[in-house]
A and B are shown apart, each in its own frame.
Chain A
Amino acid sequence: MSSTTRPLIDARDVHGGYGGMNILNGVNMTLEADEVGVIVGPNGAGKSTMLKAVFGLLHVNQGEILLNGQPIQNLPPNQLVQRGMGFVPQEKNVFPSLSVQENLEMGAFLKPQNVKRMLAQIYEFFPPLYEKRRQPAGELSGGQRQMVAMGRALMAEPSLLLLDEPTAGLSPLYMNEIFDRVKQINAAGVGILMVEQNAKQALAIADKGFVLAAGQNRFTDTGAALLADPDVAKSFLGG
């Protein structure tokens, strides 16, 4: 790799939190453009908080976050969408009274000229959504909602997709489906940074794994290496 290539995301010594209290106490994270990064760790480790800091939903008090070499910390989310980031929150990730299609259209709000082409792509990628396109998203099952949420974020053709526990509360069937989709999205050239509770399954598809504890990096390695590391297994993967 040439030395001029900049990582997709480069977070250095990130401190941040809500209302003056820091939850993140110096997190470092580097992800290349074609990689899947997975953040795991115990409850309260700051996993989702880190994701929110990257997406500008949380004030970064110290350190910096670079997207393709450009500092982006504390930019508002709508500017980050413009710069190629997509974010799928864990909860409340659809517009319940809008139809499935309107949900997807909102994802391309900043690129209205893309709507037609991207809708066709998303429907091809998530066929169940096409059948339900006129139904309010609030009436869908959890797994289908997750598809709407991911589809919405993909409508803007992001170069980096942030997923906050995309399989939380889903049945094993849907869980596998979502992991498969994440792999496919990545194969299409989209960098992925996701927080997951199902650490083993997630690390299995991860190019990079970040184990956080108490708002700091505990282990950082390839997904496979972390899975093989007995220390990681003992403390964070339940033996």
Chain B
Amino acid sequence: MNELVFFINNVVISGSVSGSIYAIGAIGVTLIFSIMRFAHFAHADMMTFGAFMVLLLTTLFPAAGASLGVPTAVLMLPLAMLLTAALAVGIDKTFYKPLRAHGVKPIVLVIGSLGVTLILQGLIRLFSGTGGQSLYVDDRKEIFRLALPFEGARAPIVVTEPQIYLFVITIVAVVALHLFLNRSRLGKAMRAMSDNPELAQASGINTNTIVAVTWMIAGALAAIAGTLLSLDVTFKPDLSFFLLLPIFAAAIVGGVGHPYGAIAGGFVVGFAETLAVFNWNVLLRPFRDSLPAWLELPSNLAFVGTEYKIVVPFFILVAILVWRPTGLFKGKVI
């Protein structure tokens, strides 16, 4: 029983946490690709930027959330989403739009986005310092321990307050995106432009508007993902290093250009990571007595050490590109 609780805490919860974060990041990458046809490498830094905005606002008004009973950082999230959406539109106007106007190849935009990565990272570092900082400035991080009503279940299931916010916000974001894409006029136009940009224009759809809306959504989602991650652990200016590979792996696993694929891909990558670093010894321990004597279980039975977690999305990325380059949902090939 305790082993099961251990599995839930270390795989189910922690996999869902990273899965949600990767999914929300990957949706942005996939939307940008489907509208503008380039891989936006600065996306992970937009996530860091969003989290940094939350940190700034929380440091400025540390007690704002207390009166409402929510952590100040969560209260500041909508504002940070607006700021990051504005940043995304601004970056597009300043850097990508002039390039598109010249009719450059997608690879030029990709390299341009690497430049934007360096700019954003430098700026964030300049203002935030290089160390890690908690987004819980004035609040206390609640930890919930749910004891199981079973005999012999000594260890509780542990969920932290930011993880609960994360699950709720992820579900709200995904449902909102689904409704936007399938019910609203602009959302349908976005799908139309992803399908056939020339015909979208010939139908009277203003493609500049769609591009701007795409950046707003991608920016707002990036702020959510970056903030949720920073709430769960801490804010660091180099968060993007650990996000870039998993979110691209997630977008490609799901099939580039498919928002739902990106969600699935996010969870595939998130769970693959946590399963790979999980110590399987714990689950085998109850059967120790029935194992043959010569088979001694090593104390650590994880596939890779935690410090090598980042190789998992890398491996998934390589595997999917070799065996199924269009991803699980038949997306486009980058």
A: residues with CB less than 8 A from B are 55, 57, 76-78, 81-82, 87, 89, 92-98, 102-103, 105-107, 109-110, 112, 152, 156
Contact = CB atoms under 8 A, between A and B. Distances in A.
Contacts, number: 64
B202 A55 contact: yes
Max chain A CB contacts within 10 Å: which of B189, B202, B205, B206? Answer: B202
Interface in B199-229: 199-207
B204 A82 contact: yes
A152 B203 contact: yes
A95 B192 CA distance: 6
Interface in B126-165: none
6 contacts: A77-B202, A78-B207, A81-B202, A94-B199, A97-B191, A156-B204
A106 B198 contact: no
B285 interface: no
B211 to A, nearest CB: 13
B198 A92 contact: yes
A112 B188 CA distance: 13
Given A92-B198, A97-B195, 9 more contacts: A78-B204, A81-B204, A82-B204, A94-B196, A103-B192, A105-B188, A106-B188, A107-B203, A110-B204
Interface of B: 185, 188-189, 191-192, 194-196, 198-207
Contacts of B191: 95, 97-98, 102
A110 B206 CA distance: 9
A194 B188 CA distance: 29
Contact of B206 (A78, A107, A156): A78
B203 A106 contact: yes
B205 A76 contact: no
B195 A89 contact: no
Contacts of B204: 77-78, 81-82, 109-110, 156
Contacts of A106: 188-189, 192, 200, 203, 205
Nearest to A82: B204
A105 B187 CA distance: 12
Contacts of B189: 106, 109
Nearest to B195: A95
A152 B189 CA distance: 13
Contacts of A76: 201
B203 A92 contact: no
A155 to B, nearest CB: 8
B57 to A, nearest CB: 37
A104 B195 CA distance: 14
A77 B195 contact: no
A87 B207 CA distance: 17
Max chain A CB contacts within 10 Å: which of B188, B203, B206, B207? Answer: B203
A62 B195 CA distance: 34
A85 to B, nearest CB: 9
A102 B194 CA distance: 14
Contacts of B196: 92, 94-96
A76 B191 CA distance: 21
B185 A109 contact: yes
Nearest to B186: A109
Max chain B CB contacts within 10 Å: which of A77, A93, A156? Answer: A77
Contacts of B194: 97
A102 B188 contact: yes
B205 A109 contact: yes
Contacts of B192: 95, 98, 102-103, 106
